[in-house]
Amino acid sequence: MLDFTGQVAIVTGSARGLGFGIARKLGELGARVALVDLDAAQGEKAAEELCGLGREVVFVPCNIAEEPDVESMTRQVVGRWGRIDVLVNNAAIVGVTGNIWELPIDVMDRVYRVNLRGMVLCCQKVIPYMLKQDYGRIVNVASVAGKEGNPKQAPYSASKAAVMGFTKSLGRELAKTKITANVLSPGLMQTDILKQMSPEDIKYMMSKIPMGRMGTVEEMADLAAWIASRECSFSTAAVFDASGGRASY
């Protein structure tokens, strides 16, 4: 069984959905977890739920697209627990769906700021602490959309492709250290992000899954925990798919 006792993890976008599932799994395995999210009310509720299960967690409100927020969040976690062993960059938005020639450019800007810029900022602020302690695991959550491109979701698909490209570069930059950087690339899941999609979009994506079903948060959280573990020691700059067979490359 994986053991995160004594480790500290940051999980962004963890007030609900996949991020909450990953935080819950890491806490179950012994990690102290910082729940990071823009939604303060839901974040506090999520932290209260995990505390009720006996987990050692703290909620830190943060807009990951803003550098001062990320700097403050990182310092708060280190100030509380003295280290950061695991960073899971999960926070993301789909944005407005539609043909790219019909979307205002600020849709792309908003998606980019959260899905890519926010992830990069978190890595920039956390990695120095990991280098100092000579250990770390970074898990950047992308999407099968970053490999295949979902129609009417160009901003989202492009940002998730960028997450993969960034992580491959980062993993190679850190390859001589004891820090790994990998990608978790989920397929369609039953989470609140579906509320940002039209029924037509969901039907299209379901039709692409050979297993004929959505993935569960628990399945994704189990894989994320393994990628974030000490046991995952010879994989870096890699993309781990969990798409029910949709992505096989």
Residue whose tokens read 């798919």: 241
- 156 tagged catalytic: yes
Q: How many CA atoms lie within 13 A of 60 on its CB side?
A: 24
Contact 34, 12 (CB under 8 A): no
Of 112, 129, 135, 156, the catalytic one is 156
Structure tokens at 30: 């012994």
How far apart (Å, rounded) are the C-alpha atoms in residues 125 and 128?
A: 7
User: Cα–Cα distances in Å, from 74 out to 81, 107, 122, 172?
Assistant: 11, 28, 8, 23
How far apart (Å, rounded) are the C-alpha atoms in residues 191 and 132?
A: 36
Nearest C-alpha neighbor of 155 from the set 113, 186, 195, 192: 113
How far apart (Å, rounded) are the C-alpha atoms in residues 211 and 231?
A: 28
How far apart (Å, rounded) are the C-alpha atoms in residues 224 and 232?
A: 10
Structure tokens at 240: 């781990």
Contacts of 48 (CB under 8 A, 6+ apart): none
User: Active-site residues: which are they?
Assistant: 156
